């Protein structure tokens, strides 16, 4: 048992806008693009799951998966092009979140493989899980790093 106390030194007013607030307008729309990617992944999953037990029509989910992949690539480029950004914090959160979501996606993949999901649907689900395991960590990492000063580690 240890008692820890951290009293902060006097700083600017607790609720006043700071430099990070002022920088928000400079950021590209990473969060809306990431949420759109997630919506496409979820929609694709619902379309495939809704056809369970009959020969599935995969055109719509394949298109949704392709669009989601495209948006994720666009988002990665958007993040890479940000100049003033707390990149060390972004990479730290991205790494740990990636680990957590790879485990979650791995459990779901295990369920699909265990259930003998047919090859085409399994490929589609695997693609969706890969995008899911990349998109969510990107959202989490960006949503933290956007509020940190560029030099923060």
Residues that bind another protein (CB under 8 A): 1-18, 20-21, 31, 34-35, 38-39, 42-43, 45-46, 49-54, 89, 93, 96, 100, 103-104, 107-108, 110-111, 114-115, 136, 139-140, 142-144, 147-148
Query: C-beta of 16: minimal distance to another protein in Å?
Result: 7
Query: C-beta of 81: minimal distance to another protein in Å?
Result: 21
Radius of gyration of the chain (CA): 20
In the complex with another protein, the residue whose CB is nearer, 66 or 110, is: 110
What is the spatial distance between Cα 77 and Cα 34, in angstroms, rounded to a whole number? 12
Q: What is the per-residue burial (b if ≥16 Cβ within 10 Å, else e) of 116-151?
A: ebeeebeebbbbbbbbbbbbbbbbbbbebbbebebe
Query: C-beta of 122: minimal distance to another protein in Å?
Result: 14
């Amino acid at each position: 048992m240890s008692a820890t106390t951290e009293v902060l030194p006097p700083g600017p007013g607790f609720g006043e806008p700071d430099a990070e607030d002022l920088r928000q307008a400079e950021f590209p729309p990473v969060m809306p693009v990431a949420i759109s990617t997630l919506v496409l992944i979820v929609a694709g999953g619902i379309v495939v799951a809704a056809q369970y037990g009959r020969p599935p029509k995969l055109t719509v989910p394949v298109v949704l998966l392709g669009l989601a992949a495209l948006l994720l690539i666009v988002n990665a480029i958007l993040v890479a092009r940000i100049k003033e950004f707390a990149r060390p914090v972004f990479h730290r959160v991205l790494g740990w979140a990636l680990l957590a979501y790879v485990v979650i996606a791995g459990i779901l993949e295990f369920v699909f493989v265990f259930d003998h999901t047919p090859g085409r649907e399994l490929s589609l689900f695997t693609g969706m899980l890969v995008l899911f395991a990349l998109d969510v960590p990107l959202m989490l990492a960006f949503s933290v790093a956007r509020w940190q000063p560029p030099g923060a580690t």
